[in-house]
Structure 1
Amino acid sequence: MRIAIAGGGLGGLTLARILHRHGIDAVVYEREAHRSARPQGGSLDLHPESGQQALADAGLTVRFQEQARPEGEEHRILDPAGRVLVHHEPRPGSFAGRPEIDRRALRDLLLDALPGGTVRWGHRLAEAAPGAGGGWELTFDGGHRTGCDVLIGADGARSVVRALLTDVQPSYVATLVELSIGDVDRRHPTIADLVGPGNLWCVGANQILAAQRLGDGSLRVGVSLRAPDRPVDTYRSKRALLELFDGWDPRLTALIDAGDGDPAPRLIAATPAGARWPGRPGVTLIGDAAHLMAPVGEGANQAMLDAAELAARLAADPHDPDAAIRSYETAMFTRIHPIAEMSARIQAMMLSPTAAEDIVRFFTRPAAPAAAD
């Protein structure tokens, strides 16, 4: 059984690692030229029931705990005047919650756990078509071709593999503008104190100014706005961003002023919460390729759990991969639908006119009562 995984992100690498633990080989085709070809983004909070569970299945819990930062779970929410609305402080040194880990560190951890040659760098999938004798013929940029029996699309928001299964297209739900501040403790100690060891959200009407501490001592700053009502290039200057936050406490807008380089804007998309497909032999999707959600903390976690569940089914029934895929898809659709709906609600809440009040209620709501024996 020749398994090809399109995409070397967290989902694709988790899948390859768990399959390898079960003695099943897979090849990961990744468009990037090498593992350090581009920055991998900010920090992730890995959830015990999804991302951490997948790492346990991959046999990487100890390595994860060596790299993760439980203190990064600290979360501060402020209003535009700089008043603290919510301050969550995790239990020191505890991995029981949702510890943070840099995307780069997590990806490197997974890459280092794979046999050499598993990832074929510089292979951007251009087309996938049924093979003459069954399976799939893959064509990459530059004309290189290869075949496989089972194709798994882990190729993200603009998935090529998705088109084999569904014509559902993502739609834009927000605009995100990012900056970074390097060596923040030395260069900008006041900003470092404001953000703390974890995450800061400054919440106003229809917009959020956020900052996130990374393990290398830098900050990742993000401005979240509603679905685009003006050209995205408008936000490539700090002046344009600062105009959006006119009247906010200068301690907060200092996050923009201190950014290294120009802002980098991009559009955020999502697929409909109930999207699914009827199934097709020898092909399936995981992660953003399967269920692109608003970036509110579930995307990477669910991609890794997809990988773990699909790998377990393929390992349990290696002689009937189509049955394994059908079983995976049925369970995945059931699991993802409420999570995708919840992510869409949270995204809308965060960028609403009453975001501050709604977010405070969300983070301070009482826990559900324990069920009676």
Structure 2
Amino acid sequence: MHQHRVIIVGAGLGGLTLAHGLRARGFDVAVYERDPHPDARPQGYRVQLDEPGLAGLESCLPEHLFRLGLATAAAPPARVSVRDRHLGVLTDRPTGPSSDASDGAARPHRSYAFNRPTLRQILLFGLADTVHYGAELLSWERKQDGTVTARFADGHEASADLLVGADGVGSKVRELLLPQAVVEDAGLRLIYGKIPLDGPAVAAEARASGPEANGSTAALPPWVFDSIFTVVTGGQGHPHVGFGPVRFAHSPGLAGPAHTPAVPLDSVGDYIACLVGAPADHPDMPSFSTLRGLGGPALRELAGRLVGDDWHPDVHRLLERWDPDSLFPLRISTARPVPPWEAGPVTLLGDAIHAMSPVLAMGANTAIRDAAELTRTLTEAADSETPLVDAVRVYELRMREYAFPVVAASRRTGRQRIGQK
């Protein structure tokens, strides 16, 4: 039986999940990543996975890596809280009932907060011979025999039965495949970083979810640990602040080497992921090019101006603990729905096709769901010896049905809560 070859462009969460899923099912897989090495740029901090992201990971990863992922994740109360700037509760709801999983099976609801760099290290394990760095895609060409050839900036060429664009919001694959696809500036700018919870007193108090204000623990209000994520909003069109606690069930730096087989993971202390966001046209918000040029202390000072004096003192105390060295800016984008296109030997997953506002925490979940869905359809085609293009057609139809309503819901919620366009 012919061994199908798949090229994946982009070594993010979705692309790496797909690589594991396809390799486990006998596909010849190569991942090409334009970054020169895994730590070439900030990858963010906390990422929340619910269903179907967790179901997608479970179906694609080796069982031992999935177990390690859960062991090194945090499991705060599976609730999302929205409060006003005085900390009055506006909404407080569970993260949601279990969505239909990639394989259609009903599962009890699960919700975890992962440290994104740790999860990416886990996903990279076992793929050393599969991921190629410093490989910037320039173009691809469909051949008469139905295969596709990718060309890279270093002069390298690679051919495959299928090329998958998992290369994010600025996807080169999407640009070439669907030039009509539009990714819009959502009109939001974020300053993102983390509040360390290191030190025995701080860590013990945080784990108890009931710290008292004394000494070094004075800036740890209990409410920040009551939900998997808390949004404090100044009102529609005004700045907002988000807090997501990450208190590891097992320290990654200890759990990875103790795992069988051993997986090298960086040591990471407990922290609260923290962001301050505002509309791009807020009078205190500079242009994004200027924002990108600011160092950590300047970003923290800007955030302090965005969060006014009339906000609850707890918010200011938390921001005072923000690690300036962890801060970086983000520009939020959102995709317009794309009408159906003709299926072929090139397809897309994740932000490359359905970028969305982070307000519903569904971007990574949906990208991983894509990976599981594509793995399933390609495997069924290979097993039945039918053309892969048939599997791509089924995947793209299904992906459009579940992904673009999530994009729309994220846009609506972003407009209501935080002034997204």
For the 8 Å contact 1:42–1:212, the answer to whether it is kept is no
Structure 1 residue 84: Cα displacement: 4.5
Is the deviation greater in 77-86 or in 146-155?
77-86
Structure 1 residue 89: Cα displacement: 8.3
> For the structure 1 residues 325 and 217, does the alpha-carbon distance in structure 2 shift closer, same or farther, using more than 3 Å as the test?
same
Structure 1 residue 87: Cα displacement: 5.5
For the 8 Å contact 2:220–2:318, the answer to whether it is kept is no
CA distance in 2, matches of 1:106, 1:159: 22
Structure 1 residue 193: Cα displacement: 3.5
Q: Does 2:225 match 1:196? A: yes
Structure 1 residue 342: Cα displacement: 0.9
CA distance in 2, matches of 1:57, 1:166: 29
- For 2:191, the aligned partner's letter is V
- Secondary structure of the 2:150 match is strand
CA distance in 2, matches of 1:313, 1:266: 34
- Secondary structure of the 1:143 match is coil
> For the structure 1 residues 72 and 35, does the alpha-carbon distance in structure 2 shift closer, same or farther, using more than 3 Å as the test?
farther
Q: Does 2:233 match 1:231? A: no
CA deviations on 1:9-60 (whole Å, 9 max, x unpaired) are 1111111111112111211111223333344312222222x11111221244
CA deviations on 1:140-182 (whole Å, 9 max, x unpaired) are 2333332223110000100010023212131111111123333
Count of matched residue positions in the alignment of Structure 1 and Structure 2: 347
CA distance in 2, matches of 1:298, 1:74: 15
For the 8 Å contact 1:165–1:279, the answer to whether it is kept is no
Pick from 112, 118, 125: which aligns with 1:105?
A: 118
Aligned to 2:316: 253
Pairs within 5 Å for 1:55-94: 55-58=57-60, 59-60=62-63, 61-71=66-76, 73=78, 75-86=80-91
Pick from 159, 174, 177: which aligns with 1:165?
A: 177
Q: Does 2:180 match 1:127? A: no
> For the structure 1 residues 38 and 192, does the alpha-carbon distance in structure 2 shift closer, same or farther, using more than 3 Å as the test?
farther
CA distance in 1, matches of 2:245, 2:141: 43
Aligned to 1:18: 21
- Secondary structure of the 2:192 match is strand
CA distance in 2, matches of 1:23, 1:136: 20
CA distance in 1, matches of 2:389, 2:140: 18
Pairs within 5 Å for 1:330-349: 330-349=397-416
- For 2:71, the aligned partner's letter is E
Aligned to 2:361: 297
For the 8 Å contact 2:195–2:273, the answer to whether it is kept is yes
CA distance in 2, matches of 1:88, 1:281: 42
- Secondary structure of the 1:63 match is helix
- Secondary structure of the 1:313 match is helix
Pairs within 5 Å for 1:223-372: 223-228=276-281, 230-232=286-288, 233=290, 236=294, 237=298, 238-246=300-308, 247-261=310-324, 263-272=327-336, 274-295=337-358, 296-318=360-382, 319=385, 320-352=387-419
CA distance in 1, matches of 2:78, 2:377: 33
Is the deviation greater in 344-353 or in 23-32?
344-353
Aligned to 1:369: none
For the 8 Å contact 1:234–1:240, the answer to whether it is kept is no
CA distance in 2, matches of 1:276, 1:299: 20
CA distance in 1, matches of 2:35, 2:232: 34
> For the structure 1 residues 169 and 20, does the alpha-carbon distance in structure 2 shift closer, same or farther, using more than 3 Å as the test?
same
For the 8 Å contact 2:47–2:114, the answer to whether it is kept is yes
- For 2:19, the aligned partner's letter is A
> For the structure 1 residues 121 and 213, does the alpha-carbon distance in structure 2 shift closer, same or farther, using more than 3 Å as the test?
same
CA deviations on 1:239-258 (whole Å, 9 max, x unpaired) are 33222222212321233333
Structure 1 residue 122: Cα displacement: 2.2
For the 8 Å contact 1:81–1:249, the answer to whether it is kept is yes
- For 1:18, the aligned partner's letter is G
CA distance in 1, matches of 2:239, 2:116: 25
CA distance in 1, matches of 2:161, 2:94: 49
For the 8 Å contact 1:210–1:221, the answer to whether it is kept is yes
> For the structure 1 residues 190 and 131, does the alpha-carbon distance in structure 2 shift closer, same or farther, using more than 3 Å as the test?
farther
CA distance in 1, matches of 2:178, 2:270: 42
Pairs within 5 Å for 1:39-58: 39-48=42-51, 50-58=52-60
- Secondary structure of the 1:301 match is helix
Q: Structure 2-normalised TM-score?
A: 0.74
> For the structure 1 residues 192 and 116, does the alpha-carbon distance in structure 2 shift closer, same or farther, using more than 3 Å as the test?
same
CA distance in 2, matches of 1:327, 1:77: 38
**Percent identity over paired residues:** 28
> For the structure 1 residues 3 and 208, does the alpha-carbon distance in structure 2 shift closer, same or farther, using more than 3 Å as the test?
same
